[in-house]
Amino acid sequence: MASGESQTPVSLSERELQIIDLVAAGLTNQEIAEKLDISKRTVDNHVSNILTKTATENRVALVRWALQWGKVCLNDVNCCILPNHSDGTVS
């Protein structure tokens, strides 16, 4: 296993998933706090808890983990494409 990449599924709250998505979008903790209308300290606590739960050491490793486990979608990378037709083809 590569350092910082947990190999087991992790249970995350909806808020934690929201925070991960914003971290992956490149927002700072202060920007996340402003966007979610919560304090920066609350965001700091969420990020710390997420890093612990995911066994990642930093934000980059967290985003790698989130991509690996399908928790985020970045610019159409790692996104599920749902079929638009009953025959299963994608338009």
Domain spans of the chain, in order of start: 12-91
pLDDT of residue 82: 46
What mean pLDDT, rounded, does the chain reach? 83
Tens of pLDDT, residues 32-57: 999 999 999 999 999 999 999 999 99
Burial class (CB in 10 A: 0-12, 13-18, 19+), 50: buried
Q: What is the pTM of this model?
A: 0.74
Domain 12-91 maps to which CATH number in 3.40.50.300, 1.20.1090.10, 1.10.10.10, 1.10.287.3510?
Answer: 1.10.10.10
Whole-angstrom Cα Rg for the chain: 15
The β-bridge partners of 77 are: 74
User: Strand ranges (DSSP E) for 1-91?
Assistant: none
